[in-house]
Amino acid sequence: MFTLSLIAAPENANLEAVLIDSLRKNWGGSETRWLNPGIAAEFQMATVPDAWDEVWSDLQSIAIDLAIQPTAGRRKRVLLADMDSTMIDQECIDELAAEAGVGERVAAITARAMNGELNFHEALIERVGLLAGLPETVIGKVLAERITLASGGPELVATMRAHGAYAALVSGGFTDFTGPIARKLGFDEDRANTLLADGGVLTGHVTLPVLGREAKVEALNEITERLGLTPADVIAVGDGANDLGMLQLAGSGVALHAKPVVAQQAGIIINHGDLTALLYLQGYSAEEFSR
């Protein structure tokens, strides 16, 4: 059996029963199960419809996401999440660069790296080099004044952990940010690159090797092996090209508000829902959410 999930942007709440009933009747679906009225619903089907991708495209025009997954094993035991532009609304390196007066230059490199146009390792080294001379105290200032948690993130982590899942924050960013963000959201662990400083000033270097695409895949494999699980037990979420490896390896790989190159290759695309979409995809109802 397969489960079809329909998820609207929470601020729109425009998912209507008539739309679901039409799809359900055309595709031989079971009765609708509402996970959150106006926002998320699902039904089961015996097979994947041939034209489902065309329907997906049509629904994008009204800001509704559609996903189809095997019903068995949907509820995952590990959450593996990117941080920048996924669990938080910003790219930390761009915010640091803005404080250093090189914001536009660094942001342009970041955008190209996340689109897969540049080698992640080389792009990170170049961007960090532009931060040389920035006082370490700016990190705390950026955390306090510029960084905001992405919508639905606290519910996602809290709910999965309340149901026994393990949560890991794995970022191509920096430990100075993943540590506080992981603690705030309740992640079990975090992994990222380490910014180097000397005398309270950033040197423009990070510890090597750089944590990029391959390291995220390694994290997925290491964590599941340690827990006696497999990649099929993981739901992974990210938005950039350096996330593709873990998204493709995980049992459920979710491209959330992702760059085009990522969305084209990911198994599940969420363009309109927030991070609670990952809970709806696993069959959690809003009544089951923890905060």
Catalytic residues: 82, 84
CB contact at 8 A, 272 and 142? no
Dist CA 164 CA 286 (whole Å):
18
What are the beta bridge partners of residue 47? none
What are the beta bridge partners of residue 34? 41
DSSP string computed for 216-278: HHHHHHHHHHHHT--GGGEEEEE-SGGGHHHHHHSSEEEEES--HHHHTT-SEEESSS-TTHH
CB contact at 8 A, 88 and 95? no
